[in-house]
Amino acid sequence: MPKVVLEKVSKKFGRITALNEINLMLEDGEYSCILGPTGSGKTTLLKIIAGLVEPDSGDVYIDGRRVTGTPAETRNAVYMHQNYALFPHLTVSQNIIFGLTARGFSEEDARRKVSEVLEIVRLREWADAYPRELSGGMQQRAALARCLATGARLLLLDEPLGALDARLRLEVRRELSRIAEELNLTVVHVTHDQSEALSLADRLILMRNGKIVQAGPPEEVYFKPNSIFSAYFVGESIFLEGIIRSVNGRNVTLELKNGMAIEALSDDSFNMGELAVAAVRCEDIEVGGGPLTGSLKEVNFLGSFAKLVFELPRGLKIIVNIPLSRFIKEEFRIGASFQLSIPREKVHLFKPPSKGLAGEIEAV
Amino acid sequence: MPSVKVESVTKRFGGFTALEKVSINIEDREYVSIIGPSGCGKTTLLRIIAGIIRDYEGHVYVDGRLFDSEPLEKRGIGYVFQNIALFPNMNVGGNVSYSPRAKGLDKSVVRTTTIEMLELMKLTERYYDYPRSLSGGMQQKTALARALASNARLLLLDEPLSLLDLKVRTELRYELRRIVKDLGLTAIHVTHDQEEAMAISDRIIVMRRARVVEDGTPLDLYLHPKRIFTAYFLGESNIFEGNVAEADEDTVSIDVGSLLIKARNTGFQTGERVVAMLRPELVELGGDINARVLKKTIEGLFSRIILDVNGIKIIIKQPYSIVSGIGEGSYVKIRLPEKHILVYKYPGRDLYSELSLY
Amino acid sequence: MPAVETRKTIGLKKVWSRIIARLDKLSEKKTVVYSLYFASIIFFLGIILLPSLLGILLKLDTAMSVLSDPELLKRSFSAIFSSVILASIVSVLDVVTGLPLAWVIARKKYRWLSIVDSLVDFPLIVPTVILGYSTLLLWCEETPFSIIGFNGISPGFITVLLLHFAFSYPVVVRILVGKLLDIEATYEVAARTLGACSFTTARTITIPMLKSGIIASLILSFARSLSETGATIMVAGSFENGPVFIKKSIDAGLVPPMVFVSLVLIVFSILILAGLRLFGFKLKIPFRKSYRIEAALSVERVTRLRDASAIIIFLFLVFLPACFMVLSRMHLMLSSSLLGEIFTLQGAWFTYWVSVLNSYVIGFLTTLINIVFTLPMATIIVRRKLGGLVSRTLEALSTTSIIMPSVALGVSLSLFWGTTGVSDFILVLLAHLCITYPYMVSTMVSVLEDIPVELEEAGRTLGGTPFKVFRSIVLPVAKYSFLSGVILTFTRSVNETGATLAVSKTFKTVSVLLVEWVKAPGMKVEAGAGTMVLMLLSIILLVIFRYIYTKGGGGVA
């Protein structure tokens, strides 16, 4: 049963620290998504599990067996590269057979297995085609079939949907989820797309600068972000800086930079006069009624929802996402004034980051 | 003031037809996206407008002037590439000042233009950095500054954001639109990302198999697509096949198997084979249809729930707060609102090939 | 009968697959893999690098005696000076005239240009001595241009220049075409949309990005000019450059001048290489503005003129010399009495066929041994198996010897191994190994660099051992470039004259023999027929290679 454990794994490339003392445990049959921006160390982590990169320190266990230092081919874990790495000189079925003969299958068993996995990924008619003759989506499925055929129960996927068209990406996403579920695979899936990670994962692992920021079920990461970065990178939030003006049991009041105040719930960690950052999900802000007044500056329609940008006094910007059903019912005229409210139970309070807020939430 | 007119353009590469009699019109100061599955001809169209591809049938006019034999460097367009294509042998300043230098402008003009563009993109501090030391998002911003420094009024964007991280991509697209609007430019933006197209453009042109499928504002295409393919390609949709069971002047009832769907009648007769479409976001909770929850996932900003109604799968999308109490395996009541259901004639060949991306 | 045979082949197959399986297993052991790396480094240091330097350094004291003989010193320096000047002119001319042609081929606007593309490769298959002979016939002895009043020139500096220009030209064009194709077209398009005309684009974008290719071309043509011996002797007349001088010293049995000139040439070439590498890459072409003349030069009429002159230069100065000998000596092949002599091994022809056999045996062994030892070496270099520093050092060392003049290398080797009393055959083999080694290494390095590392990674995580991944993925994917490396090494060995002349007086390869025949009075017919036969053999061999090349289909996109 493939259970993956990483203990204090660190890796440096020259002077750059790719991974910094990573501890991680992935259960058997679990679908984990490692989410993070470019350079967060997520691919290195995956390659260390695969055995393609050796950690500088720390240990990797698969199935309770310590595999640190053992060659990749003995780990019974298959790694799927972002560009699929299909062997260009072999047909689809020959590509699949490669992994089978490498693992000592007889020719007959290999043939049977090939048709079996091609059935799973729905590529039966393309068995004798060369990779270059397949479309991007089909190549992706062929690569997946090649991994599945080896019988390895641990699948390591490096941005498996990254090279596909946006539309196709959605379809293949659902397909991937179906296959993983049917075959009860343990999957580790690396991506920088938060909605992909949210919809696929049993467990979401958010990484940044070689460290794990937050790990847990997607709902937990989404609804209870443990840090500003977490609230920023998963989903969409606005961030408001301010100073704590009153503490009344769990109720606190935060005075924003523009002089306005919002209410929030907090644990005991905040005191009067302290600086704090409030994070609020853009869909949690209510439009129509409420203590704040803003004028509508911009409307962006995005299909499932619309993004409204409100400007409040002294240049404070609040972005609100409202569902399509509401967007088409009411009129949102640019320049008009709206009442806004931020429900106190939807506000997440954080200590101000040492390097300033911009350092945490600017992607470009 | 650049308006663009493409008149009946056809382009073949050997036996492959990339464009088949494509005609489009783009107004001055309009931000237009061209979207479609890969291989639909959208990039070829953009390259023809840019003058990178020269041998084609048909005509391209910019500002009413015939552009077919205008050389690349004289077209006055800014082209932004998917692979960014910053000159690796020059620093940020060198890249941005390339165009004014290449045009032989005065030293002082070169300087002011360069600084102005770098300030606009908030890149002034990066003047001496080489492209390889910048992040992907910064690189694309530099490329945009470089294109704008050529004083181009027409911006052609060839999947400019597709190689960037998702988070960077979403932030940069709003910046892109802001700059185009602030400077009063005309922009043609090719992408395969429907959300990006909707977020950024005044108008979207949908293409497939070398032809234009339809065009319209994002909201129009999303709510009232004229073609079922548009509904399928742009966002997610529930698509039902069935026969008209009953039709009067105002409404039709469509038998889709184990469910009768009511919709407004837009000219259908009893017995006709049709396709009905309803956006998952517009399925309402509460109603008289009993549905079992098969699967519930969170997808960024909303919950996506797959329901089973007598063997028919219906997808709904709702804000988290509304469906937080609904778990997999439980039952919910839903309503399929009549006014949001669109009915289409059953396509000539079959639905599958009508919806196929390629 | 057939049944027995099949059984035999089945038996063989079994043994073969058992060996493969054993190797697969072995390759999993780190000790095995590392001892292979170790062996390849020992081979490089012990067989290639040290002997080619030590031989000369050990005789340093004798070389110094030249300093006390002003007459000899003057001749030595004049020879060295001629070599360096010649090589400089040749390399610059090759790049200046080769670049436009490479441009025409790489940015092919018309389909018929693919003919020019394949014509460029033709001179590559002509053995150098044949090119030398052909040059002699074309420009000096039987010039066809006499009908327009050009009566030929006498052998000397100009003929050597023409020869060296012609035989480096195809290689330079190939390198530049390859580099031009590597540069993504979007850079040029970007510059054009930003308002730069095509000439400005070339000056400010393409050529700076092409710099590494231009430097590589300069180095290679410089090195080849410095090394070429056999064909140079044919067309040199009284002109004397380094290799010719060394060859004369060898013939006269004068050790000090030959060591002296070899040493200076080696030092000089290494300095030039280091200089080009260090300063060449730092050199920048400034770009302040575009000039009006650039727009004028971008006009289609001008670019057409440039393209046409590039093609004409190639046809007259490279292609024609390459095939003139065949045209002018075709009639010899039609005379039956001569054919009889050739194939019944009469008189001189017996020696001829022995030398052909020598050449091919040496060529075959050289290629084989080099493959075995350069592959692990290339792996160390590309995949940084022993750390970045070791990789970089080995890469620099192994490619440095490309520039060493082969005749000087031969002198050093014969001095090093000569005292051990090894046979001439072994000496020639060692010399050929040294000369072809850098070419083989750099081909293998580029082969490995071109293979996406993810293919190997995929193979490994799918359960393939290192050897299985190597033989069933790396090799098949890299088949084409691998084979071209093999062909390059083989032909280089067959064409080699300088080092062969230097290490042995008795063991003759066909190239060496033909040089003798051309120089010998009264051997005109034999020289002509001999070169013709060699030409035919080369073509046959090339066809066989081509066949292996394309066999197996599949192909890699």
At residue C478, does pLDDT exceed 60? yes
Q: Which residue has the higher pLDDT, A109 or C285?
A: A109
Report the CATH superfamily, name and number, of domain C69-334.
Answer: MetI-like (1.10.3720.10)
pLDDT for C12 equals 80
- ipTM attached to this prediction: 0.88
pLDDT for C4 equals 53
At residue C339, does pLDDT exceed 90? no
At residue C333, does pLDDT exceed 80? no
With contacts defined as CB-CB under 8 Å, which chain C residues touch A144?
none
Pinpoint the residues of chain B covered by CATH 3.40.50.300: 4-230
State what percent of residues in chain C have pLDDT above 90.
31
User: Are B101 and C287 a contacting pair at CB < 8 A?
Assistant: yes
Shortest CA gap B88–chain A (Å): 20
With contacts defined as CB-CB under 8 Å, which chain C residues touch A47?
457
Pinpoint the residues of chain C covered by CATH 1.10.3720.10: 34-60+346-557, 69-334
Shortest CA gap A280–chain B (Å): 13
CATH number of B284-335: 2.40.50.140
Shortest CA gap A182–chain C (Å): 21
Minimum mean pLDDT range among A234-238, C61-65, C440-444: C61-65
Is C34-60+346-557 CATH 2.30.60.10? no
Q: Tell me what the pLDDT averaged over chain C comes to.
A: 86
Q: Give the A:C interface size as CB pairs under 8 Å.
A: 81
CATH number of B4-230: 3.40.50.300
Interval B47-77: pLDDT, tens: 999 999 989 999 999 999 999 988 888 898 9
Q: Tell me what the pLDDT averaged over chain A comes to.
A: 91
Q: Angle at Cα C489 formed by Cα C483 and Cα C490, nearest 5°?
A: 90
With contacts defined as CB-CB under 8 Å, which chain B residues touch A203?
none
Cross-strand partners of B276: B240, B343
**Nearest residue in A to C457, CA atom:** A52
With contacts defined as CB-CB under 8 Å, which chain A residues touch B174?
300
User: Are B137 and A364 a contacting pair at CB < 8 A?
Assistant: yes
pLDDT for B190 equals 96
Residue C209 has its nearest CB partner, among B88, B99, B101, at B88
With contacts defined as CB-CB under 8 Å, which chain C residues touch B104?
289-292
CATH number of A237-361: 2.40.50.140
Interval C198-223: pLDDT, tens: 889 999 999 999 998 999 899 889 98
At residue A260, does pLDDT exceed 70? yes
What CATH fold (topology level) applies to the domain A4-229? Rossmann fold (3.40.50)
Interval A187-200: pLDDT, tens: 999 999 999 999 99
User: Are A321 and B174 a contacting pair at CB < 8 A?
Assistant: no
At residue A282, does pLDDT exceed 90? yes
**C553 pLDDT tier (thresholds 50, 70, 90):** very low
C463 touches chain A (CB under 8 A): yes
**C556 pLDDT tier (thresholds 50, 70, 90):** very low
Instruction: List strand residue ranges (DSSP E) for C366-469, in order.
Output: none
**A1 pLDDT tier (thresholds 50, 70, 90):** low
pTM for this entry: 0.86
Strands of the B77-80 sheet, one edge to the other: B77-80, B154-158, B186-191, B31-35, B203-208, B211-216
| Pick among A74, A76, A87 to test the C interface (most C CBs inside 10 A) | A87
- Taking a C-beta distance cutoff of 8 angstroms, is the pair C180, C102 a contact? yes
Residue C464 has its nearest CB partner, among A73, A81, A130, at A73
Q: Which residues of A touch B (CB under 8 A)?
A: 37-38, 135-136, 165-168, 170, 192-195, 198-200, 218-219, 222-223, 233, 235-236, 282-284, 300-305, 307, 321, 323-325, 328, 363-364
At residue A363, does pLDDT exceed 70? no
Integer CA distances (angstroms), A119 to A91, A115, A174, A185, B353, in order: 16, 6, 17, 17, 22
User: Are A89 and C554 a contacting pair at CB < 8 A?
Assistant: yes
pLDDT for A168 equals 83
User: Are A147 and C464 a contacting pair at CB < 8 A?
Assistant: no
Neighbour count for residue B153 (Cβ, 10 Å) = 18
**C5 pLDDT tier (thresholds 50, 70, 90):** low
With contacts defined as CB-CB under 8 Å, which chain A residues touch B298?
198-199, 218-219, 222
Query: Exposed, middle or buried, B104 (CB in 10 Å: 0-12/13-18/19+)?
Result: middle
Interval C417-464: pLDDT, tens: 887 888 899 999 999 999 999 989 988 898 888 888 889 888 888 888
Q: pLDDT digit of tens for each residue in chain B (358 aa)?
A: 689 999 999 999 888 899 999 999 999 999 999 999 888 999 999 999 999 998 999 999 999 999 998 888 889 899 999 889 999 999 999 999 999 999 888 899 999 999 999 999 989 999 999 999 999 999 999 999 999 999 999 999 999 998 888 888 988 999 999 999 999 999 999 999 999 999 999 999 999 999 999 999 999 999 999 999 999 999 899 999 999 999 998 999 999 988 999 999 998 999 999 999 999 999 999 989 999 999 998 887 889 999 999 999 999 999 988 898 899 999 999 999 999 999 999 998 888 888 887 7
Interval C262-310: pLDDT, tens: 999 888 888 888 888 788 878 877 787 778 888 888 888 888 899 999 9
C459 touches chain A (CB under 8 A): yes
pLDDT for C6 equals 59
Q: Domain map of chain A by residue range?
A: 4-229, 237-361
C460 touches chain A (CB under 8 A): yes
Rounded to whole angstroms, how far apart are CA atoms B223 and B212?
Answer: 19
User: Are C460 and A80 a contacting pair at CB < 8 A?
Assistant: no
Chain centroid to Cα A110, Å, comes to 35
pLDDT for C126 equals 84
Q: Which residues of A touch C (CB under 8 A)?
A: 47, 50-52, 71-75, 77-81, 83, 85-89, 98-99, 102-103, 130, 132, 146-147, 150, 156
Shortest CA gap A70–chain C (Å): 10
With contacts defined as CB-CB under 8 Å, which chain A residues touch C551?
none
User: Are B50 and C193 a contacting pair at CB < 8 A?
Assistant: yes
Interval A291-314: pLDDT, tens: 889 999 999 999 899 999 999 988
pLDDT for A166 equals 81
Residue B85 has its nearest CB partner, among C186, C284, C288, at C186
Q: Which residue has the higher pLDDT, A153 or B261?
A: B261
With contacts defined as CB-CB under 8 Å, which chain A residues touch B198?
300-303
Class of domain B237-280+338-358: mainly beta
Interval C91-127: pLDDT, tens: 999 999 999 999 998 887 777 888 888 888 888 778 8
